[in-house]
Amino acid sequence: MIPTYNALDKFGDGRPTYGGYSNTIVANEDFTVHIPEKLNLAAAAPLLCAGITTYSPLKHWKIGKGHKVAVLGLGGLGHMAVKFAVALGADVTVLSTSPKKETDANRLGAQHFVVTSDAAQVEKVKDSFDCIVDTVAAEHDLNFYLSLLGLNGTLICVGIPVEGIHLNGPLEAFTLIGGRKSIVGSQCGSIAEIQEMLDFCAEHDIVADIELIDIKDIHAAYDRMLKGDVKYRFVIDMATL
């Protein structure tokens, strides 16, 4: 794998890769994908990151009709996980600390919404989910979310907390063992799977929710991103560079 930025091109001249900030990119066709014509290019751009990050684990763990899926966190990754899980036929619940996100969760197609600080709501969904897609990049207690998984349930970590994965005390072994539960991780997908995802998006009219910005607004956008004030991805109009 050669990351698209901050890496050295092993197949070219060895120079650093600059990714989306490049004026031009020359690549072997084996490393490229075709974006279907019906997809808006700006809204399709985040599919190559947040899209495949959430599509790949859902496909790997064969999520589909009859599965109860929870998406933890409704941000850049979470909103894509909701769209994909719904399109795959799953029964989808959004888990969030913010009651304000319920309207968006419903708009994105989620059938249920649970405020994780509400004990009564949490009690109703304990031991119930086949999988939880954990998109949160902040500190949070995995023991709490393991208790929401049903028998053979899987907690899929795709968010990357800066301080690492947190447990409120030791991992509760009986919760893990008694329910034959799993904690797994997933990062991205292959070129072939990215193409599969893009074709799936074209078939189901799925793109990322974005705000298209000029390059001159990048600093303001960065400050807003730190505050979580974006729905749900900023995309730079490179014509303004």
218-18-188 Cα angle (round to 5): 90
Q: What does the pLDDT look like over 11-33, one tens digit per residue?
A: 778 888 887 777 777 778 888 99
Q: Please enumerate in sequence order all residues whose Cβ is within 8 A of that of 7, keeping only pairs 6 or more positions apart, or say none.
A: 16, 17
pTM of the model: 0.92
Going across the sheet that includes 91-96, the strands are: 112-115, 91-96, 68-72, 129-134, 149-157, 182-185
pLDDT at 109: 97
Asked if pLDDT for residue 87 goes beyond 90, the answer is yes
Joined together, the tokens standing for residue 50 give: 């947040």
pLDDT at 173: 86
Asked if pLDDT for residue 157 goes beyond 80, the answer is yes
pLDDT at 162: 80
Q: Which pLDDT band, with edges at 50, 70 and 90, does 182 fall under?
A: very high
